A and B are shown apart, each in its own frame.
Chain A
Amino acid sequence: MRNQRSVKQEFLRKWITGLRRYSCDEKKNMSFLERKKAIKLSADIAMASTRDKTTRWSQALIANASSSGDTLTGSSKNNSSRSRKKMLMMRRRRPKVKSAKKEMSASCIAKRLVEKRTRKLKNLLPGGESIDEGCLVEETLDYIESLRAQIEVMRYLVTASQLIINPYP
């Protein structure tokens, strides 16, 4: 396990560096939604960079962010992969309907459920679609740990900001 405290410090440092880009004059008039996206994006990237290319999810996250450029609306990429995925899933389902066995054993149902939920989990991880199952568990645990650290630091910043704005509640 990594030293969580140093991870959080590194994350905070990088995150604030990223946020600085949005405090220059030309960006001061961002809409609320744009600002939220900027904060979230810089937080995600900062957390991914603390992994220093050692995990797949962090690499994928940074790659996605840099390929969508500086725009805050890089959602078209996600939509295309999602529709492609739906097509793939449809193609996979058809042969099963044509199979001779009409009854499915309980273990068969269970296996399909596991497969379905494994796919769901893969889709939740950045870059998870192309991950192989051997690494899936490790990547998932690392990703969860990083998310928790990110949330803790973000919460801290919320509290600190609130105190600065209103020091005497």
Chain B
Amino acid sequence: MSSGSRSSRQRSHSTRISDDQIIQLVSKLRQLVPEIRNRRSDKVSASKVLQETCNYIKNLHREVDDLSERLGQLLSTIDADSAEAAIIRSLLSN
């Protein structure tokens, strides 16, 4: 990476992520998501990690959407001000 190309890269709004950041992202992701595994733990491909992260976030979004839908069906039968809501709240605060 020569200095000449770096200046032109800055002009063109580069999206370079540093290797350190990739390593940090991978180690944190591993802690959060045991399902994300690298076969070769010493060699990490940045693009692969980014792709896994994107897929994971998309899955999380889908789950939020799905849960919102289910709650939409369930909560239509519960008044948020009612005693049931108070029960739920107290259950979840333990």
Contacts and interface: CB of A to CB of B under 8 A. Distances in A.
Interface in B46-94: 46-47, 50-51, 53-54, 56-58, 60-61, 63-65, 67-81, 84-85, 87-89, 91-93
Contacts of A55: none
A161 B47 contact: no
B2 interface: no
B87 A164 contact: yes
B25 A161 contact: no
Contacts, number: 143
B25 A141 contact: yes
Interface of B is mostly: helix
Nearest to A33: B72
Interface string A137-160: 100110111011011011111101
Interface of B: 12, 14-18, 21-22, 24-25, 28-29, 32, 45-47, 50-51, 53-54, 56-58, 60-61, 63-65, 67-81, 84-85, 87-89, 91-93
Interface of A: 8-9, 12-13, 16, 19-20, 22-23, 32, 35-37, 39-40, 43-44, 92, 110-111, 113-115, 117-122, 124-125, 133, 136-137, 140-141, 143-145, 147-148, 150-151, 153-158, 160-162, 164-165
